[in-house]
Amino acid sequence: MGHFVSSLGQSVCSICLTTPSLSFVLRFSLCVPSSESRESEIIMAGTKEEDVKDPRIPKIASSIRVIPDFPKPGIMFQDITTLLLDTEAFKDTIDIFVERYKGKGISVVAGVEARGFIFGPPIALAIGAKFVPMRKPKKLPGKVISEEYSLEYGTDKIEMHVGAVEPGERAIIIDDLIATGGTLAAAIRLLERVGVTIAECACVIELPVLKGREKLGETPLFILVTSDAA
């Protein structure tokens, strides 16, 4: 038995179980046995007891495939297109986020390009919030405000429309995956510059080995599954 620290700073027990047919990890959560199709351990990483017991998580996790050496050698690409093909798993994914944020005073759902545009709009509609696209440079017409962030070699920017949000609004930031955390951190800074309060960042997948959540500062991060493949 071991311990790890959750996103809320809590110490959580982990128990490794092995049987002749499978091995998996329980971190006070429903865990999915490793499968040949995903080539990775995928476990749930909710932050509340009801999240941990959510029976929908294994279905969501098993619908995500890992593509080795894409888009370049050495990268294990987390492919959520297979999740989108599974109508039940896709609906469950949206429903979990909606259940978490509905009635919490969220007026802005900010989606990070590109796959944040898949999950953000249905969540925004369901909770009665507006959807704000956060895009790469020169993709939005009209006046924009931008925030720069670092890449492995060089820098990039994320932009949103001037006037898309108002000071005092409360937002969540949605993306499909957090890896190094640079884009989400830039989105946080951009929204905070114009007076928006960030309630939480939310992603379907986290790659903990890349330590992306460390770049988010005090902004909470909610995820559904984590993967060791990166």
Catalytic residues: 115, 152
Closest CA to 179 of 150, 156, 148, 213: 213
Residue 110, token pair as written in the block: 């900010």
Alpha-carbon gap, residue 38 to 66, rounded angstroms? 5
